[in-house]
Structure 1
């Protein structure tokens, strides 16, 4: 009798955290629907989704074995959040990327946040070599179009800072945002699009509220088709090295936890609000043309976020979800589940191949995709 009571009591106690996790998961799923300008903390919840999904799956299995009726709680929560689960995990386990397997008429596109073209080495003596390694890694994939974020260049410092020159022989066409342009070309930074094919129209669209960054697009003539490539870099959290130390102090529960948390949350609030505005601008620009388009770049936000769903819309594929597997981490810092870089072609394209490549040359992984425009899609 006492043993039976203890089992019932234990199950009752375990039911409480199951309900709480289920409710937290449902709230986190709302992040994709609620504009973070007014609901920024919901965006922070979306960062927890992969972990909450795993907990709910284990809870479902546990309750299915011990108390089947209780298993309906995690199951119902998972069903409610199925739309978000589909963008967090990809299931194409046996997909692969073969450089030589580039089909005729296919466009191979690379997107990469290159961390200012000087790599992640802390040693100044190594950084001047990283820019060449980055360029060689990209060109070794033989892409047709290259979209880089956090790219920098100098028009006046000579060959050691001429980063456009690393690509210009193989890619005679480019468009550079030059969001920062100091001392008449001494130092320039922003997003850039390189192309083997003619660029016939370009535009730079600045973000509002005094932000120096922008997003850019280039209309590229590929055979008889014109394709719009939209290269974006959304607002980051702007975490400093001190902020990353503060994150570690929060994990360790040190005395400075409260102060560190306030500073980090304030930066997150600003970033979520700005990304919401930027995502709306990108979506309107993408929807304003009949030209088949591909959006790529660093969103600085996860797949279950408002920014991701706003930009992707109902008529775009996520190349990772089409041809890869797992959670697809693209950014090293903070957490092992941060997929914040994307290639999103319109559904007028077919995704042939996709891969995430880690060469330890940036704090982001390189994305590469083979995309094929469906017959008649540009008519």
Structure 2
């Protein structure tokens, strides 16, 4: 009798967190429909999605064994959130990328936030070497079109600062958005599109006043078609090195992190709000094009976020089509951050995709073959 009572009590105690977990997951799913420019706090919920999904799966298995009638709670939550689950995980385990295999009428695209093109080292000599290694890594994949974010270049500081020259021999066509001046104007930083094929038009679209980062496109002549390739870079959190150290301290549950947590959350809320505005701009502009189009870039936001769903619309996510796992593309903070994307419209088929980890930037490189119908 006491044993049965304890078992019932334990089940009752565990039922409460199961219900709360299900409600939190459903709230996270609803959050992806709310524009953070008005509801900036909802952006935080998107970061929790992979963990909430896994916890719900474990809860479902537990209740299926312990009390089957209670297993409907996590199961119902998972069913409600299937749209979010479908973009967090990809299941194509046996797909692989073959550099030498490229179908007729297909285009190979690389997208990468190269973090200024000078690697992760603080050593000046290593930085000079890393810029060439970054370029060689990209060129080794034999892409037709290259979209880079946080690309730095100087036209006045000699060969070691002319990063465009690393690509210009193989890619005679490029469009560079010089978004920021660095080092007293001697260096510029922004997004760039390189192409083997002719560009017949290109432009930078300005976000609303006060919002930085890049939104550019190039109209590229491919066979008898004109393709519009967008290269986008959405608002980052603007974390300083001290912020990253504070995040590490928060993970260790240090007593001195309350003030740091408030500062970090304020920066994140501002970034979520601005990305909501940017996502609306990108969607409006990309929907208005008459050309077949592809969107590449660093969204600085995860699948399941408002920014991701708004920009993607009914486009194909190359990772979801041809890869597996959670597809981490950013090194810091958490192991589940997929914030870089290649999205093609329905005029293309995704043939291949890979995430390339060469430890040369804080982001990982994306490469995909898309075939024009």
Band the TM-score falls in, shorter-chain normalisation: over 0.9
The 3-state SS of whatever aligns with 1:253 is: coil
- The answer for the alignment partner of 1:140 in structure 2 is 140
- The answer for the alignment partner of 2:34 in structure 1 is 34
Instruction: Measure, in 2, the Cα distance between the counterparts of 1:120 and 1:222.
Output: 35
- The answer for the alignment partner of 2:337 in structure 1 is 338
Change (3 A) 1:183 1:18: closer
- The answer for the alignment partner of 1:377 in structure 2 is none
- The answer for the alignment partner of 1:167 in structure 2 is 167
Shift of 1:183: 8.3
Deviations 1:65-98, CA, capped at 9 Å, x for gaps = 1101100000000000000000000000111100
Answer with 341-350 or 252-261: which moved more.
252-261
The aligned length equals 373
Matched, 1:245 2:230: no
Q: How does 1:111-126 map to 2 (within 5 A)?
A: 111-126=111-126
Change (3 A) 1:201 1:185: farther
Shift of 1:122: 2.5
Instruction: Measure, in 1, the Cα distance between the counterparts of 2:230 and 2:347.
Output: 16
**TM-score of the superposition, structure 1-length normalised?**
0.97
Answer with 139-148 or 185-194: which moved more.
185-194
Instruction: Measure, in 1, the Cα distance between the counterparts of 2:333 and 2:325.
Output: 18
Instruction: Measure, in 1, the Cα distance between the counterparts of 2:147 and 2:214.
Output: 14
Q: How does 1:357-368 map to 2 (within 5 A)?
A: 357-368=356-367
Shift of 1:215: 0.6
Matched, 1:79 2:79: yes
- The answer for the alignment partner of 2:180 in structure 1 is 180
Answer with 304-313 or 122-131: which moved more.
122-131
CA contact (8 A) 1:206 1:213 kept: no
The 3-state SS of whatever aligns with 2:23 is: helix
Deviations 1:276-315, CA, capped at 9 Å, x for gaps = 000111111101111000001000000100000000012x
Shift of 1:186: 2.2
CA contact (8 A) 1:31 1:46 kept: yes
Shift of 1:358: 0.1
Instruction: Measure, in 1, the Cα distance between the counterparts of 2:32 and 2:90.
Output: 18
| Structure 2 alignment gaps of length 5 or more | none
Instruction: Measure, in 2, the Cα distance between the counterparts of 1:322 and 1:210.
Output: 36
- The answer for the alignment partner of 2:304 in structure 1 is 304
Q: How does 1:261-276 map to 2 (within 5 A)?
A: 261-276=261-276
The 3-state SS of whatever aligns with 2:316 is: coil
Change (3 A) 1:58 1:212: closer
The 3-state SS of whatever aligns with 2:349 is: strand
Answer with 110-119 or 210-219: which moved more.
210-219
Deviations 1:240-291, CA, capped at 9 Å, x for gaps = 1111111122122222221011101100110000000001111111011110
Shift of 1:182: 5.6
- The answer for the alignment partner of 2:5 in structure 1 is 5
Instruction: Measure, in 2, the Cα distance between the counterparts of 1:70 and 1:33.
Output: 29
Q: CA RMSD in A?
A: 1.1
Deviations 1:344-376, CA, capped at 9 Å, x for gaps = 0001110000000000101111000000111xx
**TM-score of the superposition, structure 2-length normalised?**
0.98
| Structure 1 alignment gaps of length 5 or more | 375-379
Q: How does 1:187-336 map to 2 (within 5 A)?
A: 187-314=187-314, 316-336=315-335
Instruction: Measure, in 2, the Cα distance between the counterparts of 1:116 and 1:349.
Output: 31
- The answer for the alignment partner of 2:58 in structure 1 is 58
Moved over 4 A (4+): 182-185
Instruction: Measure, in 1, the Cα distance between the counterparts of 2:26 and 2:249.
Output: 29
Change (3 A) 1:212 1:58: closer
- The answer for the alignment partner of 1:44 in structure 2 is 44
Deviations 1:29-70, CA, capped at 9 Å, x for gaps = 112100111221211011000000000001001101110110
Instruction: Measure, in 2, the Cα distance between the counterparts of 1:287 and 1:95.
Output: 31
